[in-house]
Amino acid sequence: MNLIAAVDKNWAIGKQGRLLVNIPEDIKLFRMETNGKVAIMGRKTFEQIPEKTTLMDRVNIVLTRNMTYKKEGAIIVHSVEEALKKAEEYSSEDVYVVGGASVFEQFLPYCDVAHITSIDYEYDADAHFPNLDTFASWKVTRMSDEHTYFDLCYEFKKYCKM
């Protein structure tokens, strides 16, 4: 399974339920990587999708503790185990964990690839992705050249669990 996120210098990913920044090239990468695939996310992340719909052209698996939560077009699950069971119906390389912070943390042990947009900036944030650079088992296997969006510098990195 895959993880996909945009992180700042401190591996921050959001504040008050919102992304820290929208970089068009990062959004393009997200769409390209996940289109036609499976996206596992928490309820709060799911509810941040514009117009409160599902991610189009993807299987949306939404993890929530709310046993009565329902959303047309989404597969609702109530535990990591239940999400993993649903994900088994698909090829592992076609499954992407897309957020938020607690979902990334819970699924990290089950994933072996992470697509990270690394932003060279420090944001005021309250949600973080696990810092893969602190795990001996995770290594950068591919890195893009540096890109810029206005005054932001960022790189695309692929981490693999060794």
Instruction: Retrieve residue 55's tokens.
Output: 């991610």
> What Cα–Cα distance (Å) separates residue 134 from each residue in 72, 124, 129?
39, 21, 12
Domains in the chain (CATH in brackets) are 2-161 (3.40.430.10)
Instruction: Retrieve residue 121's tokens.
Output: 């900036």
Mean pLDDT of each 10-residue bin along the chain, 162 residues long = 98 95 97 97 91 86 97 96 98 97 98 98 98 98 97 98 97
CB crowding 54-92: b at 16 or more within 10 Å, else e: bbeebbbbbbbeeeeeebeebbbbeeeeebbebbeeeee
Q: Is the dihedral of CA 44, 48, 53, 55 positive or negative?
A: negative
Which pLDDT score is estimated for 52? 63
* Residue length of the chain: 162
Which pLDDT score is estimated for 50? 74
Residue 145 contacts residue 122 (beta carbons within 8 Å): no
